[in-house]
């Protein structure tokens, strides 16, 4: 699995500047010093895992988003003790966002029921001009009706993005038609029931079968 966890489209930084691990992730296209490749990674290993193991696990961002239904969403409170997946992207993304979300949706369908079958999938729309609650609802509804879109002020989103050590979000310059791209990390953070992210996945590279294999184990508290 590639450790290139960044999907960069272009231009200006959004909100809070990079620091520490975020700079490392930007410069090295990796997870930063808190993560290491899993020696058992790979489809050939009987206990092979996707993603990267993080030791110690990452804490959740301490912010209050607004969900796509207009309700406050204090992230730590709402996800407490649950298998929760956090992904920053935007609804006009041409590639990594739909690829990541659709692979995850199909994997959940394949799992069916039991452990790993009902994770909280939380998609933060970083393009606040276009990722309105209505747009998030329509976009995610076409993929999986259980996925929840989150939004907030530029400051809230940038703060959460920084707290999980993602590189800064970049908003591109509009073209002649007013269209623009957005640079964002492709990392999917998976928080287990102890409220820590012990594994981080490159959404642009993780395969459906890896989710099918990993989510039940993560739901049961195993991460390596």
Q: Do residues 34 and 54 lie in contact, with contact meaning Cβ atoms separated by under 8 Å? A: yes
Question: Could you read off the pLDDT of 167-179 as tens digits, one per residue?
Answer: 999 999 999 988 8
Amino acid 43: pLDDT: 39
Q: Span 117-142, mean pLDDT?
A: 97
Instruction: Check pLDDT > 80 for residue 32.
Output: no
CA distances 125 to 48, 63, 169, 187, 192, Å, are: 32, 15, 11, 14, 22
| Domain encompassing residue 124 | 6-219
Instruction: Check pLDDT > 90 for residue 150.
Output: yes
In this structure, is residue 1 part of a structural domain?
no
In this structure, is residue 80 part of a structural domain?
yes
Q: How confident is the model at residue 3 (pLDDT cuts 50, 70, 90)?
A: very low
Amino acid 47: pLDDT: 65
Number of domains into which the chain is organized: 1
What is the distance of C-alpha 23 from the center of its chain?
18
Amino acid 103: pLDDT: 96
Question: Could you read off the pLDDT of 37-93 as tens digits, one per residue?
Answer: 444 444 334 468 999 999 999 999 999 999 999 999 999 999 999 999 999 999 999
Pick 184 or 14 by higher pLDDT.
184
pTM comes to 0.82
Instruction: Check pLDDT > 80 for residue 17.
Output: no
- 73 beta partners: 65
In this structure, is residue 159 part of a structural domain?
yes
**What are φ and ψ of residue 59, in 5° steps?**
-80, 165
**205: Cβ contacts below 8 Å, ≥ 6 apart:** 1, 2, 4
Amino acid 178: pLDDT: 87
In this structure, is residue 64 part of a structural domain?
yes
Pick 147 or 5 by higher pLDDT.
147
Pick 138 or 40 by higher pLDDT.
138
Q: Do residues 63 and 159 lie in contact, with contact meaning Cβ atoms separated by under 8 Å? A: yes
Return d(Cα 179, Cα 165) in angstroms, integer.
Answer: 28
Instruction: Check pLDDT > 80 for residue 143.
Output: yes
In this structure, is residue 224 part of a structural domain?
no
Q: Span 112-129, mean pLDDT?
A: 97
State the CATH number of the domain containing residue 73: 3.40.30.10
Q: Span 5-16, mean pLDDT?
A: 40
């Amino acid at each position: 699995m590639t450790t290139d966890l960044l999907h960069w489209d272009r231009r200006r930084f959004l909100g809070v500047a990079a620091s520490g691990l975020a700079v490392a992730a930007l410069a090295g296209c990796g997870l930063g010093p808190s993560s290491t490749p899993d020696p058992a990674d790979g489809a050939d290993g009987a206990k092979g895992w996707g993603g990267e193991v993080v030791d110690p696990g990452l804490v959740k961002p301490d912010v209050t988003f607004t969900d796509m239904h207009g309700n406050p969403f204090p992230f730590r409170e709402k996800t407490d003790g649950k298998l929760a997946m956090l992904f920053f992207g935007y609804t006009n993304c041409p590639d990594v966002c739909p690829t990541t979300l659709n692979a995850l949706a199909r994997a959940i369908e394949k799992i069916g029921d039991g452990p790993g079958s009902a994770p909280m999938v939380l998609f933060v729309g970083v393009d606040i001009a276009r990722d309105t609650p209505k747009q998030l609802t329509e976009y995610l509804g076409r993929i999986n009706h259980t996925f929840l879109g989150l939004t907030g002020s530029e400051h809230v989103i940038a703060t959460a993005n920084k707290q999980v050590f993602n590189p800064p979000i970049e908003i591109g310059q509009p073209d002649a038609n007013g269209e623009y791209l957005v640079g964002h990390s492709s990392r999917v953070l998976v928080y287990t029931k102890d409220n820590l992210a012990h594994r981080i996945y490159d959404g642009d590279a993780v395969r459906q079968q890896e989710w099918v294999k990993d989510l039940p184990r993560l739901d049961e508290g195993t991460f390596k």
